[in-house]
Amino acid sequence: MPEPNDVLPVTIQHPRFPRASRWDANWQLQNMLGTNPLWLTEELMHHLPLQPGMRVLDLGCGRGMSSAFLAQEYGVQVWAADLWVSPDENWQRVRDLGLDHLVYPIQAEAHTLPFAGGFFDAVVCVDAWHLFGLGEGFAGRIAHYVRPGGHLAMIGPGLVAEFEHGLPQHIIPFWQQEFWSLHSPNWWRDLWQQEAGLDVIYADIVPDGWKLWLQWEEIARDADYEYAADDISLLQADAGQNIALVCTIARISDVDPGCDP
């Protein structure tokens, strides 16, 4: 693994993501667990009306990159929840960034969260919802923790449209079992819209999202950091025909926080 700044410039400039472009590139690569979470978070914030001081749950936060970014760039308080990454590890990262007054790491399983109903102004999930949020009723249970008028939002890998006639031939060589958790914006809209009190206000693919995904994996590869070679092959073969980044946002219209999730 290269030493900091031996391979990359201090920042990676991207005109679409001016906030993320200010963050150290090697720090991002050292802490990445998938598609660039700063790019994804900034893209999500183009559609999500968060205000400074709001309470936000970052569900499935991994190494807390999206949590730190939300706190630093948008001034919100963030509860950084992850099952697999130690909160001690994330707390050290937060302290190193001087954000210990805004980011609070915890270890939690997405189906058994230890929060009061209606506590959060928003729940966000960056590059993780497809790992645990496929079941009917799950979005409604998470909405329990958001005040009426707040938001539930996710962004991550997905599909342009569902495969109605099986896998396209050109992606079969690169398809892996875990990719079956990927779905289209319309699929997510239909699933979430079934939940009482959830009003889906946005569901779409990220414009040129597959290019962003590929660009980041290629940056990681070229810098000798961990990267997903299978993702690169799949994205190159598909060229945006089927594989995408997707974003879904719902407004919490009428959820009683006194009811158990």
Please state which CATH number belongs to domain 20-252. 3.40.50.150
Summarised one tens digit per residue, pLDDT across range 143-165 is 999 999 999 999 999 999 999 99
Whether residue 179 is predicted with pLDDT greater than 50 in this model: the reply is yes
Q: Give pLDDT, residue 9.
A: 54
pTM: 0.93
Q: Give pLDDT, residue 224.
A: 82
Interatomic CA distance for residues 157 and 246, integer angstroms: 6
Whether residue 76 is predicted with pLDDT greater than 80 in this model: the reply is yes
Q: Give pLDDT, residue 8.
A: 52
Render 13-63 in DSSP notation, one character per residue: --TT-TTGGGSBHHHHHHH-SSS-HHHHHHHHHTT----TT-EEEEET-TT
